Chains A and B, each alone.
Chain A
């Protein structure tokens, strides 16, 4: 499928995009799409066109042999075709599709798009098509609300502005395509795959910005204070002195003041671009889960030190966005 598109001249694609833009007139740039007469498109599918050709052949056969039975079959097929046009249209009509969320992922897992479907009647055989790939088929929507998670099929690291999502149904016989589009203004990210760095020592780079304010709990260097012992805590850390005095189990807490914050630097890592990005992805994720403050130094710029969720997301997105090295890619 992809090859086929690749072979097509670009001006054709541009022309197609222009025509689509002209025809669709921004009707589909919404997060809350209701399928009605002006957002639904109905045409016979490829199968339907062949079906009509067979109907025509039957008609010719019936006329030329003056055969009532064949003629009746031809008329029957035509009537069924028109009925399925009507049925197909009314099948999707009234369906509400609401954008809920999009979820980034680490390669090679694909980013997800979460939609909510709402309908007041039965709606059958719904397909979601994104970039000519069928993402999922919902056989029947009977409940009033249904959440659909669409695996967008984006497996490589990168930043992907969402393209037009096609919602199509070929109910009831596959003879008719009834479809609509949803154009979301969001961008999904596929983060680089997580790769554990080979040389751990080489990447801990202290940037002398340490002012001793950041402490790493569960450290081992300096005594910080006492806490009440909870069952399951390490027996080694119990302050037996305290116990002898007060009959109360207290635990000694130690902290590290050595490396409270780190900056991960792209240039200090080993391997090619992709490998470095993958290592950075691992490090950023690990640091965030451990609650360590970190910064990220990329060629494009520095991401200041922080430990918030937002910061982690920004860093990972930056890694995803990182330009691909032309020489290295295959």
Chain B
């Protein structure tokens, strides 16, 4: 059962499959374990390329045991999905290190069929899909290679052909076979992604501006509203002296919203959001948002939350309503003014707030405008790289000493000042703005668009946005951070390397936008194709048929396709056409002559026939005789049939045919 032929090719390809697979999974695994897996891959490669012996069973098993310990220690049991995937890859790599027989290799290839699928749990980008599909083809080629002694190239070509044939059927099934609902609640993989944090420390959001990862795209149903776009994601209603947190009371209120649509009035806008996978369940909406999507939960504060499948892209429709003007309940009022955890801190800010409030006759609305004026007139500056501030009175230091900061600083300070005079206020984190795509009229929001601002509850007006950035750096409100001229240098130097960093170059920016568009289509059509979209598609195609009827029709169609393929396979082969291309050319001439009404008596040699034809068609005599000469030279005198001869023969055939047309 030993495989000897192709062994190098099989080993090499499997090593490559696992190296590429690893390159997609490594952000999810801890560095030590990544190093271990990478060194196993390199070991496999080295064994193949340097033609060394595979390690013996005792050594390999001992190492496997040790690696398993490292796996448990390093990856841990908290994230079962990642643990499972890591274990799968580890075992496949060790198996590959020891594999000698056909059966071993077949087992590894089977395992990698599963491992390749698990990559999609973590990444579903177009690029990942293309690479993983290539690896699928390679995997099938390897299966074929184990069975036969072809070269890898032929095997890859054959399996590519087969997969291309199978792909339309698979897509057909995916589109039309009614999707089953998830039958078990499986734990989702925890993604190691940057994103909004549940606690706002003035330094945290600055970190996000390093990342140019897409967060979501939004497409408005009607004309898009005018800027600014404050995409709310998280409400922070508790200040502990350093950070703004989500209070336990608020967390417990994340139950489903009970207000009826009648209470909310007409929606201001409705739009569709294509959200990328995230580490946290928070989704995005404008103002008081609500979504009918079955996997999206709406909280009583108008926030959207994802119920499950955090690692998938999700597309949902949402409506935005104006905030209710009704008075805050007693407990909500208390929750939004209390500063019980930060009693003795930032006294200077407190006294400033109290002074301003008294100056404006204790009027909430006047204080609101006065605070804006304060930030506008006291030389505050906006920067992406603020100086670090430490100590207990960070807000005081910022307000009176540094005066340069990022949105987090302004939001923290302003909310604190509102609360210290008894006006309900809370910090909201989310995203501001977005890059508008003219061609498909959607808006892309990236991690560097992360923003924090304040919502203030003013009597008779409801919740109002207070964003000091608006007066400190008004340009920031109108678009994405990437379009901010003043901060452009600071922004690009802050960014990790990517196409965006080079977006000043016209060609690269064009390429970036094209890729962006492609990715939008991919997310929209492929990843966003969920059960709801399928249901509406099926309704359009089949009308109001029962699900089982549709399934039956789809399966019957696929069976029909299989039958067609089978008929094609067993169709009797056409009679072998003559191998020599000159003979083919001769037959073309014979057929043409027959059409002209020149049919020679049977049992003539080709040369006899050509001579006869030349006699019958005097106007093409020279060409036919030339062909006859060529034919006898090549077929009987065994002269080399060069590419030139081949061309010449084709040319003559063409001439013989066309001259006739002219005479006709």
Once the chains bind, are A170 and B147 in contact (CB under 8 Å)? yes
Asked if B64 is an interface residue, CB under 8 A from chain A, the answer is no
B519 at the interface (CB under 8 A from A): no
Q: Which residues of B contact A78 (CB under 8 A)?
A: 170
A87 touches B569 (CB 8 A): yes
Question: Measured between C-beta atoms, what is the minimum distance from B559 to chain A in Å?
Answer: 9
Q: In the complex the two chains form, is A54's CB within 8 Å of B148's CB?
A: no
Which chain B residues (127-166) contact chain A, with CB distance < 8 Å?
A: 129, 132, 136, 140, 143-144, 146-149, 158-159, 162-163, 165-166
**A174/B146 in contact, CB under 8 A:** yes
Distance of A68 Cα from B570 Cα, bound (Å): 34
Q: Given A68-B526, A139-B148, A171-B148, A86–B566 Cβ distance below 8 Å?
A: yes
A290 contacts across to B, CB distance below 8 A: none
B106 in contact with A54 (CB, 8 Å): no
A147 within 8 A of B: no
Checking B147, B169, B182, B570 against A64 with a beta-carbon cut-off of 8 angstroms, the contacting residue is: B182
The interface-forming segment of A18-26, A119-127, A255-263 is A119-127
Set of chain A residues within 8 Å of B174, measured between Cβ atoms? 68, 71-72, 75
Collect the chain A residues with CB atoms within 8 Å of residue B118's CB.
Answer: 61
Judge whether A227 is part of the interface by a CB distance below 8 angstroms.
no
Pairwise interchain contact B170-A173, C-beta atoms closer than 8 A:
no
- Report yes or no: B144 in contact with A172, Cβ–Cβ below 8 A: yes
- Please give me the residue from chain A that is nearest to B111 by CB atom: A54
B179 interface residue, CB < 8 Å from A?
Answer: yes
Per-residue CB proximity of B163-182 to A under 8 Å, as 1/0?
A: 10111011101100101111
* A58 pairs with B113, CB closer than 8 A: yes
Q: Contacting chain A: which of B339-347, B527-535, B647-655?
A: B527-535
| Cβ B113 vs Cβ A173 within 8 A | no
Nearest CB to that of A172 among chain B residues? B144
Given known A51-B113, A54-B113, A61-B118, contact A76–B147 (CB-CB < 8 A):
no
In Å, the complex CA distance between A52 and B391 comes to: 62
Answer whether residue B121 sits at the interface, using C-beta atoms and an 8 A cutoff.
yes
Residue numbers in B under 8 Å from A172 (CB-CB):
144, 147, 158, 162
Assembly CA distance A134 to B167 (angstroms) = 35
- A138 nearest CB across to chain B (Å): 11
A68 touches B188 (CB 8 A): no
Measured CB to CB, the closest approach of chain A to B300, in angstroms, equals 27
Q: Does B565 contact A (CB under 8 A)?
A: yes
B148 to chain A, nearest CB (A): 5
Contact A68–B182 (Cβ < 8 Å): no
B186 proximal to A (CB < 8 A)? yes
User: Could you tell me the distance in whole angstroms from the C-beta of A175 to the nearest C-beta in chain B?
Assistant: 7
Contacts of A80 in B (CB 8 A): 140, 162-163, 166
Instruction: Report Cα–Cα, A175/B159, bound state, in Å.
Output: 13
Interface contact B530-A66, CB-CB below 8 Å: yes
With A47-B110, A72-B170 as given contacts, are A175 and B566 in contact (CB-CB < 8 Å)? no
Q: Once the chains bind, are A174 and B573 in contact (CB under 8 Å)? A: no
With contact pairs A65-B309, A65-B312, A75-B170 given, residues A124 and B113 touching in the complex (Cβ less than 8 Å): no
Does A145 have its Cβ within 8 Å of any Cβ on chain B?
no
- Write the A219-232 contact mask toward B (1 if CB under 8 angstroms, else 0): 00000000000000
Produce 1/0 per residue, A163-204, CB < 8 A to B: 000000011111100000000000000000000000000000
| Docked pose: A61 CA to B129 CA in angstroms | 17
- Report yes or no: A57 in contact with B114, Cβ–Cβ below 8 A: yes
Let me know if B510 is at the binding interface, CB within 8 A.
Answer: no
Cβ-defined contact, B147 with A174, below 8 A: yes
B10 CB, min distance to chain A CBs, angstroms: 13
Which listed residue, B113, B120, B166, B531, touches A67 by the CB 8 Å rule? B120
Given contacts A68-B526, A121-B573, contact A173 B144 (CB under 8 A): yes
Set of chain B residues within 8 Å of A82, measured between Cβ atoms: 562
- Answer yes or no: A93 CB below 8 A from chain B CBs: yes
A272-318, CB < 8 A from B = none
Cα distance A51–B558 when bound, in Å? Answer: 20
Q: Which of A58, A73, A173 contacts B147 (CB 8 A)?
A: A173
Taking the closest CB of chain A, its distance from the CB of B307, in whole angstroms, is 11
Q: Please count the residue pairs between chain A and chain B whose beta carbons lie under 8 angstroms apart in the complex.
A: 131
Q: Is the CB of A83 within 8 A of B117?
A: no
| Residue from A66, A90, A173 in contact with B312 in the complex, judged by beta carbons closer than 8 Å | A66
Q: Are A83 and B530 in contact (CB under 8 A)?
A: no
Is residue B548 contacting chain A, with contact meaning CB distance below 8 A?
A: no
- For B562, the chain A residues whose CB sits under 8 A away are 82-83, 86
B149 x A139 contact (CB < 8 A): yes
A124 → B minimal CB distance (Å):
6
Whether the Cβ atoms of A120 and B573 lie closer than 8 Å is: yes
A50 at the interface (CB under 8 A from B): yes
Does A213 touch B at the CB level, under 8 Å? no
* Closest Cβ neighbor of A91 among chain B residues: B569
B82 within 8 A of A: no
**Who on chain A is nearest to B573 by CB?**
A121
Q: Which residues of A contact B527 (CB under 8 A)?
A: 68-69
Known interface pairs A67-B120, A69-B120; A83-B529 also in contact (CB < 8 Å): no
Query: Which residues of the other chain, B, contact A83 by a CB distance below 8 angstroms?
Result: 162, 165-166, 562, 565
- Give, as a whole number of angstroms, the nearest-CB distance from A179 to chain B: 14
Chain A, residues 36-66, CB within 8 Å of chain B (1/0): the string is 0000000000010011001001101111111
Q: Are A173 and B530 interface neighbours, CB within 8 A?
A: no
Tell yes or no: B311 within 8 A of A by CB.
yes
Q: Using an 8 Å CB-CB cutoff, how does the interface string of A129-142 with B read, 1 for contact, 0 for none?
A: 00000000001100
Please give me the residue from chain B that is nearest to A87 by CB atom.
B569
Write out the residue numbers on chain B whose beta carbons fall within 8 Å of the beta carbon of A124: 148
Does B73 sit within 8 A of A, measured CB to CB?
A: no
Q: Is the CB of A173 within 8 A of B140?
A: yes
Q: Is B644 among interface residues, defined by CB-CB distance under 8 A?
A: no
Is residue A238 within 8 Å, beta carbon to beta carbon, of the partner chain? no
Determine whether B299 belongs to the interface, using a CB cutoff of 8 Å to chain A. Answer: no
CA distance A259 to B186 in the complex (A): 93
Q: Contact between B148 and A66 (Cβ–Cβ < 8 Å)?
A: no
Chain B residues whose CB sits within 8 angstroms of the CB of A61 once the complex forms: 117-118, 121
Cβ-neighbour of A174 out of B143, B166, B526, B569 (below 8 A): B143
Q: Is B636 an interface residue (CB 8 A)?
A: no
- Residue B482 at the chain A interface, CB threshold 8 Å: no
Our pick among B114, B166, B530, B569 for the contact of A54 (Cβ within 8 Å) is: B114
A70 on the interface (CB 8 Å rule)? yes
CA distance A181 to B213 in the complex (A): 61
Q: Are B117 and A68 in contact (CB under 8 A)?
A: no
A103 lies within 8 A of chain B by Cβ:
no
Let me know if A77 is at the binding interface, CB within 8 A.
yes
The answer to whether A63 touches B106 (Cβ under 8 A) is no
Q: Which residue of A lies closest to B165 (CB)?
A: A83
Shortest CB–CB separation between residue B410 and chain A, in angstroms?
40
Cα separation A82 to B573 with both chains bound (whole Å): 22
Nearest Cβ distance between residue A122 and chain B, in whole angstroms?
Answer: 9
A268 within 8 A of B: no
Q: What separation, in Å, do the CA atoms of A173 and B309 have in the docked complex?
A: 35
CB-defined A-B contacts under 8 Å, sample of 17 = A51-B113, A62-B117, A63-B182, A65-B186, A66-B312, A68-B174, A69-B132, A70-B121, A76-B136, A76-B163, A79-B173, A87-B569, A90-B570, A171-B148, A172-B158, A174-B144, A174-B146
A contact residues vs B (CB 8 Å cutoff):
47, 50-51, 54, 57-58, 60-80, 82-84, 86-87, 90, 93, 120-121, 124-125, 139-140, 170-175
Lowest 6 CB-CB distances: which A-B pairs, in order? Answer: A75-B170, A76-B170, A90-B569, A79-B166, A173-B143, A69-B120
> Given A50-B110, A66-B530, A75-B169, 13 other A-B contacts at CB below 8 A?
A54-B110, A65-B186, A65-B311, A69-B124, A69-B129, A70-B117, A79-B169, A79-B558, A80-B140, A84-B162, A90-B566, A173-B144, A174-B147
A-binding residues in B (CB < 8 A):
106-107, 110, 113-114, 116-118, 120-121, 124, 129, 132, 136, 140, 143-144, 146-149, 158-159, 162-163, 165-167, 169-171, 173-174, 177, 179-184, 186, 188, 309, 311-312, 526-527, 529-531, 558, 562, 565-566, 569-570, 573
